[in-house]
Structure 1
């Protein structure tokens, strides 16, 4: 078994993560503009990307495990590309694997950073909404109840708040 299958899957994973990164950039714009319909559609697109990435990752895991078994190495539960690099037949194969691995890790790190930014922006938006609601909601000391007397008993009937 050659490393070409592993390299092919790593390349597909990199492309899918780059596509997901583009969606993350679009998400940033939707958050900035408050486009909820666009954000909703984008989240659906993200879910399909994540499903495809999950499937590719399972394929990668299986191919790496098969490669290591073919080399006579009983791999752990999660076989890694780094393990394959250690037993690769030639320095060129090691270099190709290392290059593909680094490119994928770079895209994943960039995606993680962009998702963190989006998460912070959403959190700030929620804080702003909560602050606005708190300002509009009457405070307990601002509520004045009027009392109405009905056949000898006093009933609080309505309130007047200062907004």
Structure 2
């Protein structure tokens, strides 16, 4: 396993994440417009991207694990590209690996921020829908006490209820 194959895999991940970021930006617009059909289609496309990214990520993990084992490094957790950089700096050029890793980390930060924004927008839309629905629902009538003659004489509906009929 060489650094070049790991770099190529990271570049594939970078390309897929860029595409996913474009989808997240488009999702923001569809949320703003309230276009549920386009949003639904975009989410399906997004799920396909995530599945492809997951496959490439598994390949990356295998490559990094193989590289570190070949260098005699004992693995305890999921191996990272940072570990490869540390090990490889002494014997191989790692500029390309460092550069693609930095670009990928930056891209993931942007993607996270965009997804957080989309999530907040969807939650706000749901709150507005709930408020609208609450306003449209008929409200239960509350009984008013005005101490008219019926309450005083014990003839009101409230006075006829037993203690067990009241709800807590």
TM-score normalised to structure 2 length: 0.81
The answer to whether the 8 Å contact 2:3/2:94 transfers is: no
Q: Which residue of 2 aligns with 1:146?
A: none
Q: Secondary structure at the match of 1:6?
A: helix
Q: Which residue of 1 aligns with 2:95?
A: 95
Q: Which residue of 2 aligns with 1:115?
A: 115
Ranked by relative contact order (alpha carbons within 8 Å, sequence separation 6 or more), the top structure is: 2
Q: CA RMSD in A?
A: 1.6
**Distance in 2 (alpha carbons) for counterparts of 1:107 and 1:115:** 12
The answer to whether the 8 Å contact 1:85/1:93 transfers is: no
The answer to whether the 8 Å contact 2:17/2:108 transfers is: yes
Q: Which runs of 5 or more structure 1 residues have no equivalent in the other structure?
A: 144-163
Q: Which residue of 2 aligns with 1:31?
A: 31
The answer to whether the 8 Å contact 2:18/2:107 transfers is: yes
Q: Which residue of 1 aligns with 2:155?
A: none
Query: How many residues in Structure 1 have an aligned counterpart in Structure 2?
Result: 143
**Distance in 1 (alpha carbons) for counterparts of 2:33 and 2:79:** 43
Point out the structure with max Rg over C-alpha: 2
Q: Which residue of 2 aligns with 1:61?
A: 61
* Displacement of 1:94: 2.6
1:5-34 Cα shifts (integer Å, max 9, x gaps): 100000000000000000000000100001
* Displacement of 1:95: 2.4
The answer to whether the 8 Å contact 1:64/1:81 transfers is: yes
Q: Which residue of 2 aligns with 1:81?
A: 81
TM-score normalised to structure 1 length: 0.83
Q: Secondary structure at the match of 2:2?
A: coil
